[in-house]
């Protein structure tokens, strides 16, 4: 893989149009908590619902997921793979290598395999597939389902430039899609993959305090969520450093300065850093297991 460390994130929906996706056939094996949002972003990018076949652990589950996501249920994993140009693997990491071994005979020649599994390397997946199979690891987060997420893309040794472009086109409505190296995936998980979960926890904690301070819950929900979205949008649109934006709202002797002093005193910054570091460390452990 080439060195892509200097890549600047680009808002994917604003990226220039890539390859035509309407004729592409995609199989998603495992459309659960993460595979589901991936299905939504692939459909938003232009894959036709009739061409996006889902196979979960059984037909009833595949039907349920397909109905909820607006795609097509396959009767079996084998049927999902028929004529597939791209195969997305959304099962749990511990299942993926057995699944790849089981599916390898049914994989259409040249199909690009996209693994969502944390902790399973490109080399491990490549080894389980026929030599020369194009493999991509995608590390997404759940906000991709509303076009406001992030996905880190890692390419195996056999992936061509056209296949790279194809995978970027598939994630063109995810929010931000960037090429990363496998070494960077642990930091990416801390800063995007798992960060969505931490953001939900932070929002929940802030909302509870807003309620404790006397706001009705629906108002607290709206104020916290809108303010965090607005703060992120301001930074994204202006490119302002967050420390400068923070200084701009801390008037001398004012409420924000007082609150910010408590933020530091109570160790919130250190707690956030420890939270992200723990996620990155767990990712490293999972890869070594
Ligand atoms: N959750 C996240 O935020 C996140 C973020 C980044 C990456 N990931 C990665 O995404 C992958 C899936 O995680 P998840 O949280 O989405 O798990 P999940 O919600 O449990 O989804 C797993 C899916 O796999 C299906 N499945 C299980 N066994 C299968 C089989 N033998 N054949 C076909 N489908 C099968 C399940 O179907 P049933 O529903 O029928 O059991 C389910 O739809 C993992 O590898 C994880 O590392 C997750």
Which residue among 27, 28, 30, 59 has the greatest number of ligand 1 atoms within 8 angstroms of its CB, and so is best to mutate?
30
CA of 19 to the centre of ligand 1 (A): 28
Cβ of residue 60 lying under 6 Å from some atom of ligand 1: no
pLDDT tens digits for range 7-38: 566 666 554 455 789 899 999 999 999 999 99
Question: Per CATH, which fold does 195-288 belong to?
Answer: ProC C-terminal domain-like fold (1.10.3730)
At 143, list the tokens: 């906000």
- 30 labelled ligand-binding: yes
Ligand 1 atom, smallest distance to 65 CA: 43
**Are the folds of 12-180 and 195-288 the same?**
no
Q: 99, 55, 49, 104: which is closest to 77 by C-alpha? A: 55
Question: CATH number of 12-180: 3.40.50.720, 3.20.20.70, 3.10.25.10, 3.90.550.10?
Answer: 3.40.50.720
| Residue 16 near ligand 1, beta carbon < 6 Å | no
Q: What percent of the chain is predicted at pLDDT more than 70?
A: 94
21 CA → ligand 1 middle, Å: 24
32 annotated as belonging to a binding site for a ligand: yes
Taking 50 as the threshold, does the pLDDT of residue 231 lie above it? yes
pLDDT tens readout for residues 190-204:
999 999 999 999 999
> Percent of the chain beyond pLDDT 90?
91
Helices (H), the chain: 35-45, 59-69, 77-81, 93-103, 122-128, 161-170, 185-188, 195-212, 217-238, 242-249, 255-265, 268-288
Q: How far apart are CA 231 and CA 227, in angstroms?
A: 6
The two structure tokens encoding residue 62: 């595949």
pLDDT value, residue 246: 96
Residue 3: which pLDDT band, with cuts at 50, 70 and 90?
very low
Rounded to the nearest 10 degrees, the angle between the axes of helix 161-170 and helix 35-45 is: 100
Confidence band (pLDDT; 50, 70, 90) for 2? very low
Q: Classify strands 72-73 and 26-29 as parallel, antiparallel or unpaired.
A: unpaired
Structure tokens at 153: 């893309």
Residue 219 has pLDDT above 50, yes or no: yes
Question: CB neighbours (10 Å) of residue 47?
Answer: 23
Is 202 labeled as ligand-binding?
no
Residue 36 Cβ < 6 Å to ligand 1: no
- Pocket flag, ligand 1, residue 117 (CB < 6 Å): yes
Confidence label for 5 from pLDDT (cuts 50, 70 and 90): very low
Left, alpha or beta for 70 (phi > 0: left; psi -120 to 50: alpha)? left
141 is in an annotated binding site: no
Q: Is the pLDDT of residue 252 over 50?
A: yes
pLDDT per residue as tens digits for the range 132-169: 999 999 999 999 989 999 999 999 999 999 999 999 99
> Per-domain residue ranges for the chain?
12-180, 195-288
Residue 10: per-residue pLDDT:
65
Structure tokens at 93: 């990491």
What is the per-residue burial (b if ≥16 Cβ within 10 Å, else e) of 66-93? beebebbbbeebeebbeebbbbbbbbee
Q: Is the pLDDT of residue 1 over 80?
A: no
């Amino acid at each position: 893989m080439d060195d892509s460390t200097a890549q600047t994130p680009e808002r994917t929906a604003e990226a220039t149009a890539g390859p035509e996706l309407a004729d592409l056939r995609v199989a998603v094996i495992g459309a659960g908590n993460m595979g589901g949002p991936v299905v939504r972003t692939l459909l938003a990018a232009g894959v036709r619902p009739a061409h996006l076949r889902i196979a979960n652990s059984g037909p009833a589950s595949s039907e349920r997921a397909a109905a909820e996501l607006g795609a097509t249920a396959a009767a079996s994993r084998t049927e999902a793979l028929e004529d597939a140009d791209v195969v997305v693997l959304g099962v749990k990491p511990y299942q993926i290598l057995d699944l790849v071994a089981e599916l390898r005979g049914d994989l259409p020649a040249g199909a690009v395999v996209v693994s969502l599994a944390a902790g399973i390397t490109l080399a491990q997946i490549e080894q389980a597939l026929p030599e020369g199979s194009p493999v991509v690891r995608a590390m997404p987060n759940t906000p991709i389902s509303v076009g406001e997420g992030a996905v880190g893309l890692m390419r195996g040794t056999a992936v061509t430039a056209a296949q790279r472009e194809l995978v970027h086109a598939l994630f063109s409505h995810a929010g931000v899609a960037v090429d990363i190296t496998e070494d960077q995936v642990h930091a990416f998980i801390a800063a995007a993959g798992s960060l969505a979960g931490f953001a939900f926890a932070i929002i929940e904690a802030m909302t509870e305090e807003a309620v404790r301070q006397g706001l009705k819950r629906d108002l607290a929900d709206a104020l916290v969520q809108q303010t965090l979205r607005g703060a992120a949008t301001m930074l994204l649109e202006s490119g302002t450093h967050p420390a400068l934006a923070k200084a701009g709202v801390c008037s001398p002797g004012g409420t924000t300065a007082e609150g910010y002093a408590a933020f530091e005193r109570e160790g919130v910054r250190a707690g956030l850093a420890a939270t992200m570091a723990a996620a990155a460390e767990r990712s490293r452990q999972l890869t070594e297991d």
